[in-house]
Every structure is written in structure tokens, then in C-alpha cells.
Amino acid sequence: MNGPEGLLCELSTAHRAVEALLRRLDAVHARGEHAVSDGHRVLAELDRVLDEHLTVEETYFHPLVRRHLPAGRALADAAVHTHTTVRRLLARAMDERLPAADRAHCTGALLVVLRAHLAGENERLFPLVRAAVPAAELRRCADRLAEARQDRPGSPVWGLPPGTGAIASVRDRFTGHDSANRPHSP
């Protein structure tokens, strides 16, 4: 998260993780009813990744959008509305009390809504923020996010499960993050 675009880089990394899960979900969805348990596992993983990501956007990114962009309030409010829709679709897609056809319909809608949302942020909103927000403020937000994560030892980073030693080692090397003294940190 070092550098002038730390927060935007962090969010872009999360977007790539979500996109990878969406591709996995596409593959599972294409296999049909034979892959119900696989689909549920991918949805649960997507839920973990999105829970942190959407919270980070709402806590750190949307206040920047509101403050610095013309019509920023409307843009941030629309994003929060989309986040609510994503959370609702994901919950319904995972709800085993619903018929399989309803869950499949919710999963399909979730794929469409999430892809459109990610594309909108990556292609339009991030460049607007990059141009309008001072680099120092982006760094401050990234620092606040890093501090908040340090206060939560053992919390996964973008959905990585605990015990992902090789990934954690590479991440530690590049980011300066020290998980050696945190037994539950990935």
C-alpha cells in the first residue's frame, strides 16, 4: 500500500480477487447441478472476500468520493445501494432453504451486478478519484486502513485462509507486513 495510490491499488487487488472468484463461479455454474457443493464453497469464499472489501470501500473510499468529486454524494450512494444489492443476492444464492432454480437465478444476477459494478469502478470511478484526490490524502487513507488491519490480528487479507504460509511470506516480503509473530495471520 505504499505510494501515492495505495488505497486504489489495494481496492484494485481486491477487485482482481473477486473477478477470479467470479470466473470460478462461472465454471461451477456451467457444470450445473452436479457442482452444487463446489458452488456453495465458492460463494462462501466470495462472501468472505466481499465482506471485507465492501466494508473497506464504504469506510475509506466512499468518503473520498463524496468529498472530492462533483456529484460524489450521488456516486457513493449509488455504490452503497449496489453493495446492498450484492449482499442480498449473495445471501439468497447461499440460502439452502430456497429451491435450486431460485439460487441459480440469484447467482446469475450476482455475477452480472458484480461485474458491472467492478467495471464501473475500475474504468470510471478510480480514474476520477486518481485525478481529483490529492496523493497525500490517498496515502493517509491507505495508512488508516493498514492501522485498522493491524488492530485486528489474525484477520485474513482479502479472503486468504489462515495458514497460507507461502503467500503470506511473499506478501510480507513485498509489503513489509510482519505476520511472523501473529499465529493466525495469513
User: Please, which contacts does 56-62 make with residues 24 or more away whose CB atoms are closer than 8 Å?
Assistant: 56/10, 56/11, 56/14, 56/145, 57/11, 57/83, 58/83, 60/7, 60/141, 60/144, 60/145, 61/7, 61/11, 61/129, 61/141
Q: Dump pLDDT digits (tens) for 76-131.
A: 999 999 999 999 999 999 998 988 889 888 988 999 999 999 999 999 999 999 99
| pTM exceeds 0.85 | no
Q: Which domains does the chain have, with CATH numbers?
A: 6-151 (1.20.120.520), 157-186 (no CATH)
- Residues 158 and 163: their CA atoms lie apart, in Å, by 14
Largest CA distance in the chain: 51
pLDDT at 160 exceeding the cut of 70: no
Percent of the chain surpassing pLDDT 90: 46
Give the pLDDT mean for 71-77: 93
Q: Provide the pLDDT for residue 184.
A: 41
